[in-house]
Amino acid sequence: MLPSLLYILTRHILELAALRFRSGRSKDIEIVVLRHELAILRRQVARPELADADRVFLAAAASLLPRRRWSDFFVTPGTLLRWHRRLIARRWTYPRRRPGRPPIDPGVAALVRQHGEMTC
């Protein structure tokens, strides 16, 4: 996952650098075209499937946008919180353990028995 995330971040940084040197009219036309493509894709796909790298990028981009523009995203603040809860749950879940006292090491049990025989 890390190499693909690095690739995506590098690609987006280079795209942003290229955008810096383009004219405003060119950027406006590209935005209109991209919004139209997005509208078409939203009609075709009921629920998009995102990779972890997509989630990271969208979460970072959402933090850069003003709140009034969040309505343009299909990623809502609730979605970002759900992703975060899943990430935390995946990271901090512990393996299930059987109920009750854990088993005693056989060597310790033998030592206890030996000590018990000495005191009696």
pLDDT in tens, the chain (120 residues): 566 778 888 888 888 877 777 777 777 777 777 777 777 777 777 777 778 777 777 777 777 777 777 776 777 778 878 888 888 887 776 777 777 888 889 998 888 888 777 766
Position 72 scores a pLDDT of 67
Position 30 scores a pLDDT of 78
Annotate 44-100 with DSSP letters as a single string: H-SS----HHHHHHHHHHHHHS-GGGGGG-S--HHHHHHHHHHHHHHHH------SS
Position 58 scores a pLDDT of 76
Position 2 scores a pLDDT of 64
Position 18 scores a pLDDT of 75
Position 75 scores a pLDDT of 72
